[in-house]
Amino acid sequence: MIFEQVRSGGCLSYVLGCPDTRAAVLIDPELGLADRYVALLAEKGLRLRYLLDTHTHADHFSATRELGRQLSTPIAMSRRSPAPFIDLKVEDGDTLIIGKLRLRVHETPGHTEDSICLEVEDRVLTGDTLLISGTGRTDLPTGDPEALHASLFDKLLKLDGALSVYPAHDYKGRSHSSLAAEIAENPRLQRAERSAFVALMQSLDIAMPQHLTEALRTNRSGGKTVQQLIAEASRAITFVSMQDARSQIEGRSPSLIVLDVRERDAFAKSHLPGARNVPRGELELRANSELPDPTARILVYCQFGKISTLAAQTLRVLGYTRAVALDGGFTAWTEQGYPVEPALSV
């Protein structure tokens, strides 16, 4: 079996491939590593047959929807998953065939209601159900400590103890464990009695994931992340460096419009020389009156360079084909010591 573990911080994803047929499955992919997975599959000479998430992630953005679109690959998840873009819903006892590999599905709700574990040959991919020296938390949406107890003690821990454990997360640099080692040493599994285990899980005080709301929204619905929107916009426009922007502004080109898309109070404090202000939220409604010449060169900027990317794309969609974004934002501009001027009027 071809087996590749891909780490991004504490997040772990997996490429499993059949060496004879070159068929493969990608499990728990992270959106920020989408290009890396494609490159890895090409490097190994593998053809992706399935994309699979072991559960609805709350701490990172899944790449299954994006890669499924790019690679025309079916997405598999638990039958309990709410995501509308799933092509194949799996349940307890199902087997996915990847070349000569057999990937057996175990439904293990608890961390989330749609959690599954995947058994293949001498290992089990446990998602967030069982971690190395820990378990998945149960205080996030659809989490249930009693269900997790049943999934662990009545099902997962009854598998062959020699199976290697490969979780979806580990923040201490560990790659894997074994069921036998976890049964013997995992402190949470020492609370085998249901009420004691549930009390332990309910007493945990763990910080909420940084992108909880956005991750759940996008992973459950298939919607786009803010970072995706910015990345897509950046591919549809061009940028101007700060040095070139300064030269163009100081050159007083009559065809150049410097457009500040920050809110009025930020513009009033200080702005780029000669800039005019149209807040991003008003851009579509005010474009015709503020920007009557669609052939003008429009240099758009904001505080940090992200909103201006979206704004420049919007202007291009509206027909301002020479709209460009400043590569960086007003904060970086001032940190470089470039000139600014106060607002005379708002």
Q: C-alpha distances in angstroms, 81 versus 84, 89, 151?
A: 8, 8, 17
- Is 342 part of any domain? no
| 188 and 246 part of one domain | no
Q: Can you say how many angstroms the Cα of residue 340 is from the centroid of all Cα atoms in its chain?
A: 36
Pairing type for strands 164-167 and 134-135 reads unpaired
Say if 111 falls within a structural domain.
Answer: yes
Same domain, 50 and 106: yes
Both 42 and 128 in a single domain?
A: yes
Q: Answer whether residue 103 is part of any domain.
A: yes
Residue 345 maps to a domain: no
- 281 with 134, same domain: the answer is no
Last residue of a domain, one of 196, 223, 250: 223
Per-residue pLDDT of 176-221, as tens digits, reads 999 999 999 999 999 999 999 999 999 998 887 777 788 888 888 8
**Co-location of 133 and 201 in the same domain:** yes
Does residue 92 lie within any of the structural domains? Answer: yes
Residue 263 in any domain: the answer is yes
The pLDDT score that the predictor gives to residue 343 is 59
Q: Which of these, 117, 111, 125, lies nearest to 92 by C-alpha position?
A: 117
Is the same domain home to 101 and 239? Answer: no
Distance from C-alpha of 121 to C-alpha of 191, rounded to nearest angstrom:
29
pLDDT digits (tens, 9 = 90+) for 109-142: 999 999 999 999 999 999 999 999 999 999 999 9
Same domain for 259 and 140, yes or no, is no
In a domain, 253, yes or no: yes
Decide if pLDDT at 164 tops 70. Answer: yes
Instruction: Answer whether 321's CB lies under 8 Å from 296's CB.
Output: no
- Name residue 196's amino acid: A
Type of residue at 218 = T
Helices 307-317 and 283-290 meet at what angle, rounded to 10? 60
Q: Cβ of 3: how many Cβ atoms within 10 Å?
A: 13
Beta carbons within 8 Å of 5's beta carbon, 6+ residues apart:
12, 13, 14, 166, 175, 176
CA dist., res. 16 & res. 24, Å (int): 5
Domain count, the chain: 2
Residues in the chain: 346
Asked whether residue 237 falls in the same domain as residue 217, the answer is: no
Say which CATH number the domain at 327 has: 3.40.250.10
Alpha helices in the chain (DSSP H): 34-44, 64-71, 145-153, 179-185, 194-203, 212-221, 226-234, 242-250, 264-269, 283-290, 307-317, 330-335
Task: Provide the whole-model pTM.
Answer: 0.75
In a domain, 343, yes or no: no
Q: What is the domain extent for residue 83? A: 2-223
Domain shared by 307 and 236, yes or no = yes
Alpha carbon 139 to chain centroid, angstroms: 21
Last residue of one domain, picked from the residues 189, 223, 257: 223
pLDDT at 152: 98
Cα 170 from chain centre: 17
Q: How confident is the model at residue 344 (pLDDT cuts 50, 70, 90)?
A: low
Q: Are residues 217 and 239 in the same domain?
A: no
> DSSP for 228-256?
HHHHHHHTTS-EE-HHHHHHHHHTT-TTE
Q: Is 96 left (phi over 0), alpha (psi -120 to 50) or beta?
A: beta
Among 189, 205, 223, residue at a domain's last position = 223
Same domain, yes or no: 152 and 247: no
Looking at residue 200, which CATH number applies to its domain?
A: 3.60.15.10
Res 208: pLDDT:
78
Q: Does one domain contain both 21 and 98?
A: yes
